[in-house]
Amino acid sequence: MENPTRQRQLEELDQVELCTRILYQARNELYVNMHFLDVSLSSLGFEADWNRNGMACDGAVIYYGPGFLLGLYKKGRAVVNRYYLHTLFHCLFCHLYTRKGREKKMWDLACDIVMESVLDGMYEKCIHVPQSPLRREMYLRLRRFLTGNKNTGASNEEERKVVLTAERVYHALMEMELPKRRMEQLEAEFHVDDHDLWEQEPDPSAAMTRQNQWNDNRERMQTQMETMGAEEESENEQSLLDSIQVENEERYDYRQFLKKFAVLREEMQTDPDSFDQAFYTYGLSLYGNMPLIEPLETREVQRIQQFVIVIDTSMSCSGELVQRFLEETYDVLSQSETYFRKVQIHVIQCDDKVQSDVILTCADDLKAYMEHFQIKGYGGTDFRPAFEYVNTLKVTGQLNGLKGLIYFTDGKGIYPVAAPTYDVAFVFIKERFSEEDFPAWAMRVVLDEETFNERRQ
């Protein structure tokens, strides 16, 4: 008599084997049509989940319900390919790790809309599915919202250039305040895979390692796609390349950026790396309490010693953005490894003339300064007075060790002609940044206002 349990196990094994073949076929077909996906495609494994009626991914493995996958395959290979690529793109754009404090249901919808918009913009037969009127209408509405265009006519060139990102779409959806019925329609239209495995990694270091791996994959993919240059096949993936380029724009890491203005100095601090610990422990074992060698009492470190922050207080610069910039600066300076114990930071307010100069010696000084911060100025924008003032401080010996100056502004002003003797960086908000007359001798950091806002939440 045949064992029914054994028979069921064999049937399940056959289904899993068939599903594995389907997924490998999808992987191969995607690779043949899009060679730049090679590393990313091989970064995900497959695993059957009999309790799942759909597909999900934790950043390392795609979990699928065998019955669900077989049903997809009956609809066509392109449908399976599209599901596979949609899930892969979530990993590639790190949607699994970047929700932070956002509302999960809205974040999930925003991520799905963005990934589907990328896929709909890729002219590849292996993933092509006709767009519904709801999709076309939603893409157009989002782009008009993000450009501030409320007209209902044909989309203009500016709207077509807008790249949808999960952060931008999330904020747009939150501000639109769509009716519940409309939200349900959008969720049904754009839902592809399940997101229940996102942020489920119990080990934060493992999650960070995986996120870094996907960041590396995305940067490598951009290089490969740009290497294609003007090749005809690369035009089919222009929407993907645009999204990757936006995502790969240098993330604002203020601590790393401030290292450009650090100097090498000795500081009173034991240096365990400068001596051989074998002699230290040998002396203790031989004489009891007398090591043969001890660590140095000083060590050389790269930290900030003298630093100037200039704040544009003209009419065109937002006081709220200035406040957030100071808060971000405080976050960095509150980390002891950023600056020496003795530090001199000048915070200068300047519009078309220097309005104030406050000297800070520690992070607590900056915190107190922020709590009582008031903008002084609201005149025109001229960068030259601030540089003339700082140059005077250097000549008089008050800033002998000045390494660098950061100027927070919208970029709409008069720049000095000659380069100063210290490093200079202008910090801009992308939406307000103007390249007109920007000097070649200065560095620049262009921030995405939405990303900058997220860091302050």
Pairing mode, strands 443-447 and 423-429 = parallel
Query: Which percentage of the chain shows pLDDT scores above 70?
Result: 75
Confidence of residue 1 (pLDDT cuts 50, 70, 90): low
Q: Give the range with max mean pLDDT: 103-117, 191-205, 411-425.
A: 103-117
Q: Residue 100 and residue 59: Cα distance in Å, rounded? A: 17
Please compute the mean of the pLDDT values over residues 34-40 and round it to a whole number.
Answer: 91
How is domain 303-450 classified at the architecture level of CATH?
3-Layer(aba) Sandwich (3.40)
Please compute the mean of the pLDDT values over residues 266-278 and round it to a whole number.
Answer: 57
CB-hemisphere CA count at 13 Å for 214?
23
Residue 307: DSSP 8-state: E
Whether the per-residue pLDDT at 190 is higher than 80: the answer is yes
- pLDDT at position 274, please? 58
Contacts of 177 (CB under 8 A, 6+ apart): none
Whether the per-residue pLDDT at 238 is higher than 70: the answer is yes
Range name among 22-26, 78-82, 152-156 with the lowest pLDDT average: 152-156
Residue 211 burial by CB count (10 A; 0-12/13-18/19+): exposed, middle or buried? Answer: middle
Please compute the mean of the pLDDT values over residues 282-296 and round it to a whole number.
Answer: 65
Please compute the mean of the pLDDT values over residues 31-39 and round it to a whole number.
Answer: 91
Whether the per-residue pLDDT at 233 is higher than 60: the answer is no
Cβ neighbours around 288 below 10 Å, total: 7
Mean pLDDT of the chain: 82
231-254 burial code (b ≥16 CB/10 A, e <16): eeebeebebbbbbbeebeeeebeb
pLDDT in tens, 344-400: 889 999 988 999 999 988 777 888 888 888 888 778 888 999 999 999 999 999 888
- pLDDT at position 154, please? 44
- pLDDT at position 273, please? 59
Higher pLDDT, 87 or 254: 87
Confidence of residue 198 (pLDDT cuts 50, 70, 90): very high
Whether the per-residue pLDDT at 250 is higher than 70: the answer is no
- pLDDT at position 182, please? 95
Residue 198: DSSP 8-state: T
Whether the per-residue pLDDT at 340 is higher than 50: the answer is no
Contacts of 351 (CB under 8 A, 6+ apart): 312, 313, 314, 315, 377, 378, 379, 380, 381, 382
How big is the CA angle at 179 (ends 177 and 182), to the nearest 5 degrees? Answer: 115
Whether the per-residue pLDDT at 331 is higher than 70: the answer is no
Confidence of residue 282 (pLDDT cuts 50, 70, 90): low
Whether the per-residue pLDDT at 276 is higher than 80: the answer is no
- pLDDT at position 4, please? 77
Confidence of residue 230 (pLDDT cuts 50, 70, 90): very low
Whether the per-residue pLDDT at 51 is higher than 90: the answer is yes
- pLDDT at position 336, please? 46
Q: Residue 155 and residue 150: Cα distance in Å, rounded? A: 11
Is the whole-model pTM more than 0.85?
no
Whether the per-residue pLDDT at 299 is higher than 90: the answer is no
pLDDT in tens, 401-416: 788 898 988 767 889 9
Please give the structure tokens belonging to residue 278.
């074998």
Alpha-carbon Rg for the chain, nearest whole angstrom, is 28
- pLDDT at position 322, please? 79
Range name among 54-63, 123-132, 184-193 with the lowest pLDDT average: 123-132
* Ranges of CATH 3.40.50.410 domains, the chain: 303-450
Whether the per-residue pLDDT at 21 is higher than 90: the answer is yes
CB-hemisphere CA count at 13 Å for 389?
21
Range name among 161-175, 324-338, 373-387 with the lowest pLDDT average: 324-338
- pLDDT at position 451, please? 57
